[in-house]
Amino acid sequence: MNFQGQHILSTAQFDSEGMLSLFEEAKKMEKIMIDGGSDILDGKILATLFFEPSTRTRFSFESAMNRLGGRVISNADMMATSSLKKKESLEDTAKTVSQMVDVIVMRHPESGSVDKMAQNSDVPVINAGDGPNQHPTQALLDVYTVWKERGGLDGVTIGMVGDLRNGRVPHSQCDLLKHFNVKFVLVSPDELAMPSDIVSELKHFNCEVVESNDLVKSLPEMDVIGMTRVQMERFESEEEYKKYEGVYVLDPELMKKAKEDAIILHPLPRVDEIAVELDSDPRSKYFEQVGNGVAIRMALLKKVLE
């Protein structure tokens, strides 16, 4: 699968072959990280345009570009400090910024906004999250973490726990994992269940899907415990959000019911859904995910720009 010069907008662009090729490239990138960097992308410039807050995604893309010898220009608050404040259109922003750089990474609260940027850009655009729609690179690093920790993906039971209606990360994870022989255990309040079209798509790909609202009963079955926060910013009111706050909390007592070789994932930031006492549990991999994210984004930048 050739991504040279291509926009990376959706997990739908990846099949199993493309993912495994990217994962092998990411393993090489991990060695570059240990060795102190490379000049593979010397002379290339990345623009990170963020219309929503971010810590891990923005920093890891910028770290990835720097480690490969490229340079970064960045705006972490596009809504307040760019010409959008002067009513410039997103289309004109794309046409302008793409004259200065070799690749754009963008996050925006509206679904489809990154696609609009790509349609008007002269350089590749990578989606760093567009509202509740897609977050392809986060899903890629999550699946990469499972692939590394489990020695593969086929035969793995994937648990997804929390706000599955609004979480763009579990949506994107499903789009990637459907290409493998995995079982899904989806745990959420009924009102925050995985959208039915995504469940139907998983079944179309012959994936077994179990839906539940009982984490205690479901936990012993999971090889991967994928926790997600309740997406406060996706609710219309704080009152509605409060109904689901703290609905599932993974703590040391509950983890006694989990498999000894299970792994805990979380895209972060966490709120209250994983007790800090679990940070020292060897099954907790959510901070290692961050390092894996740098490697995956290095691999993706290399494939797009080299």
**pLDDT tier for residue 131 given thresholds of 50, 70 and 90:** confident
Q: Is the bond preceding 269 in cis, omega lying within 30 degrees of 0?
A: yes
Q: Is residue 35 part of a domain?
A: yes
| CB atoms inside a 10 Å sphere around CB 75 | 16
CA distances 201 to 167, 179, 181, 196, 197, Å, are 17, 11, 14, 9, 6
Same domain, 176 and 127: no
Q: Is residue 207 part of a domain?
A: yes
**Cα–Cα distance for residue pair 128/76, rounded to 1 Å:** 12
Kindly report, residue by residue over 202-229, the tens digit of the pLDDT.
Answer: 999 999 999 999 999 999 999 999 998 8
Catalytic residue numbers read 56-57, 86, 107, 135
Same domain, 144 and 130: no
Q: Calculate the average pLDDT of the chain.
A: 91
Same domain, 168 and 280: yes
Same domain, 106 and 198: no
**pLDDT tier for residue 87 given thresholds of 50, 70 and 90:** confident
Same domain, 34 and 151: no
**Cα–Cα distance for residue pair 210/183, rounded to 1 Å:** 8
Domain span at residue 41 reads: 11-134+291-305
Q: What is the reported pTM?
A: 0.89
Same domain, 149 and 264: yes
Please report, for the domain that includes residue 203, its CATH number: 3.40.50.1370
Mean pLDDT of 281-294: 95
Q: Is residue 2 part of a domain?
A: no
Kindly report, residue by residue over 132-178, the tens digit of the pLDDT.
Answer: 778 899 999 999 999 999 999 999 999 999 989 888 889 989 999 99
Q: Is residue 272 part of a domain?
A: yes
E-assigned strands of the chain?
Answer: 45-50, 71-75, 103-108, 125-130, 157-161, 183-187, 208-212, 224-227, 263-265
Same domain, 34 and 125: yes
Q: Is residue 54 part of a domain?
A: yes
Q: Is residue 26 part of a domain?
A: yes
CA distances 105 to 33, 76, 274, Å, are 21, 11, 29
Same domain, 141 and 270: yes
| DSSP code per residue over 225-282 | EEE----GGGSS-HHHHHTTTTS--B-HHHHTTS-TT-EEE--S--SSSB-GGGGGST
Q: Is residue 168 part of a domain?
A: yes
Same domain, 20 and 52: yes
Same domain, 92 and 145: no
Same domain, 110 and 180: no
Q: Is residue 1 part of a domain?
A: no
The total number of structural domains in the chain stands at 2
Q: What is the pLDDT of residue 75?
A: 83
Same domain, 152 and 164: yes
Kindly report, residue by residue over 18-67, the tens digit of the pLDDT.
Answer: 999 999 999 999 999 999 889 999 999 999 999 888 888 999 999 999 99
